[in-house]
Structure 1
Amino acid sequence: MPDLRRPPENLPFLQLVPNLVTILGLCAGLTAIRFAFLGRFDLAAGLIVFAAVIDGFDGLLARKLDAASPIGAELDSLADFVDFGVAPAIVVYFATLSGIGDLGWTFALVFAVCCCLRLARFNVNRDVPLEGRAHFVGVPAPAGALLGLLPVFATLGGVVDASRLPWAVAAWLGLIGLLMVSRLKTFSPKALRIPRERSRFILVAAALLVGLTLTRFWLLLIVFDVAYAALLVHAAVVSRRQRR
């Protein structure tokens, strides 16, 4: 029988760092929802982008610090659902879909539910050698969130007022939701390898990326979304040819 008088074992602070990063992302997603209610779609979208950027750092830190735990894995999944399922759906609804009322909300629900299903499938296959080394199966939740926010990015960047095209936005949101739960093999950064002699170009591109982030943030996100969508089209074409 364990000694109940024994004081609890002290936990090193570094063991908590991965979960603190997860909580930071969760707070960003929840605050994005708040700003969506206030009509501050620039701040709402920016916070979701921030959550997407730091997503994965918690897992990386957990491995580097030997701080992985079951509660950390579950916390990460729940935070991802809020950040990349609930928050984007609410932001897109209030920014572009509220004009068509209940039907707009229905497509927002479809997107959020598809994100939940995608994360549930990921959790079930978490211990299987994985969906992540050479490719993902379906669009990952962070990428799905950024794709779903494309109409908001386009509006904030002055490209088009997506609120005037609610049916097109609804169809887009539904399509991205279906892609998240699809079996399409999609690009994974873990499979990317850079030839050593071309590494200098990556560093130059990083400087360009920082410059665009500071000056043309929304335009940069639009370019990222369009480039990723092109990769999805290519993956769909390759998959179709393989089935034939």
Structure 2
Amino acid sequence: MVLLGTIVNGIAIIAGTFLGKVMHRIPEKVKTLVLQSIGLAVVILGIQMGVKSEQFLIVILSLLFGSIIGEIMDFDGKLNKLGFWIERRMGSTEEGGIAKGFVTATLIFAIGAMAIIGALDSGLRGDHQVLYTKSLLDGFTSIVLATTLGVGVLFSAFPVMIYQGMIALFATQIEQWIPDPIMDAFIIEMTSAGGIMILAIGLNMLEITKIRVANMLPAILVVALLVAGQYFYHQFTM
């Protein structure tokens, strides 16, 4: 089943959120320190991923043009509006609480190599091991996030499943269109660009910055276009 790994990932996030809400009586000081600890861990993860690039100019150009596209399209605003809509439907008394949890968790769970590589493995080879591992990590992360950011974390499961599911379904046909060198280069440069976005998420969690990370998401698409363009340029000029 192509979507099995994605479904398990979504269930893990939902289950982790419920466990986190059960543990909501954790003292506020502990919650703050835990959230800061996650923020620091996310920063380190972002740095580790960010330095994997083999052609950093592609990463820079991708983030530049991707951010311009994202600002024009205002993905951050749309994601927040969706969070606030969920908040109103839930009748939450804490303004912005559900929206913050939804947006933060969605970005943490959706951005990164494991989401894309895992979905590609599911679609290309029917191998869900990467997404199973991601499910375990996301499940534990959602427990902690839910104790600090609330029930909004639960709703992040749905965009994550849609995002990964679309990649998995697309991957079932991808081998017919995309040469292996393009895919290999894309994964490397996408990992680096995604790592920089994850670093930004960590800095936001630590309240050091207020970067609109969702508006940087088109950089992933720009990476794909630049990698493909470079590949075909070399093919035609050789």
TM-score, length basis structure 1: 0.31
Which structure has the higher relative contact order (CA within 8 Å, separation 6+)?
A: 2
